[in-house]
């Protein structure tokens, strides 16, 4: 049986920092293991380490500095998201990938990329939405922690969860050790979800995730049972 050619999915990746997820995804694309191309990287932080690292891989990487949108002590979200869209849209992305983008986006921006935007969040959603998830998992005495990839909707960290990976919380863990364990899983999980989207297996229609055409009622779990 001959392999079916898949048109590479055009990815715009949004980052705020190191960009280890971005770099993992970009390397998988460039190695031909993921039918996708990172066509642009955008950061709200001009000094994000992921920007020069992306350029070193030959990828367009642009900063839209959040600091430039603070006016009279207030953050001008409409102007900021308009500037982001102006950078992103000429690259005609099929999918916007939030990879450690640490800024809440407006409902307008989310609507612009409805069904075409995914996020990775370092917790087992719906547990620990928001920031400092590793600290909060430890403070809560969780014995299990992990990571989720979800479609983005207007509700913060609230869109349909697609895939999760679980890790144990071990005696003596601190936020750094727990974060490192979670990140190992992130680098497996995110390319996997993007691969399913590129192959048309995963879709988001009217806020509902579909896997192979059927509603995804519960998040998939990384492991032997994964499709
Ligand atoms: C990742 O752990 C990601 O899950 C988290 O930021 C980190 C970015 O790492 N995202 C969030 O907390 C979003 N709320 P990276 O820059 O090395 O990919």
Q: What letters, b where the CB count within 10 A reaches 16 and e where it falls short, cover 22-60? A: bbbbbebbeeeebbbbbbbbbbbbeebebbebbeeeebe
Atom of ligand 1 nearest to the CA of 19: 16
- Percent residues over pLDDT 90 in the chain: 93
Task: For residues 89-98, give the mean pLDDT.
Answer: 98
The pLDDT value recorded for residue 71 is: 87
Domain residue ranges in the chain: 9-221
In the sheet where 214-215 sits, what is the strand order?
202-205, 208-211, 214-215
Q: What letter would DSSP give residue 93? A: -
pLDDT band at 5 (very low <50, low <70, confident <90, very high): confident
Does residue 186's CB lie within 6 angstroms of at least one atom of ligand 1?
yes
Instruction: Say what the pLDDT of residue 6 is.
Output: 80
Is the CB of 160 within 6 Å of ligand 1? Answer: no
pTM value is 0.96
The pLDDT tens digits of the residues spanning 139-185 come to: 999 999 999 999 999 999 999 999 999 999 999 999 999 999 999 99
**Rounded CA separation 183/178 (Å):** 9
> What is the architecture, at CATH level 2, of domain 9-221?
3-Layer(aba) Sandwich (3.40)
Cα of 144 from ligand 1 centre, angstroms? 18
């Amino acid at each position: 049986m001959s392999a079916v050619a898949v048109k590479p999915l055009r990815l715009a990746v949004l980052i705020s920092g190191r960009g280890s997820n971005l770099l993992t995804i970009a390397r998988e694309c460039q190695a031909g293991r993921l039918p996708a191309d990172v066509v642009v990287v955008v950061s709200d932080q001009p000094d994000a380490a992921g920007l020069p690292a992306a350029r070193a891989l030959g990828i367009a990487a642009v900063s839209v500095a959040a600091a430039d949108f603070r006016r009279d002590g207030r953050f001008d979200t409409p102007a900021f998201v308009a500037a982001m869209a102006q950078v992103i849209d000429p690259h005609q992305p099929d999918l916007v990938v939030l990879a450690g983008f640490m800024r809440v986006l407006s409902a307008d921006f989310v609507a612009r990329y409805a069904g075409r935007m995914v996020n990775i969040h370092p917790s087992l959603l719906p547990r620990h939405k928001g920031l400092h998830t590793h600290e909060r998992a430890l403070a809560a005495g969780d014995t299990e922690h992990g990571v989720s990839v979800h479609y983005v909707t207007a509700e913060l960290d609230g869109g349909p969860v697609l895939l999760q990976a679980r890790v144990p919380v071990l005696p003596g863990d601190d936020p750094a050790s727990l974060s490192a364990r979670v990140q190992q899983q992130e680098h497996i999980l995110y390319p996997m979800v993007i691969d399913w989207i590129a192959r048309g297996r995963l879709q988001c229609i009217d806020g509902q995730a579909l896997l192979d055409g059927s509603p995804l009622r519960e998040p998939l779990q990384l492991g032997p049972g994964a499709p």
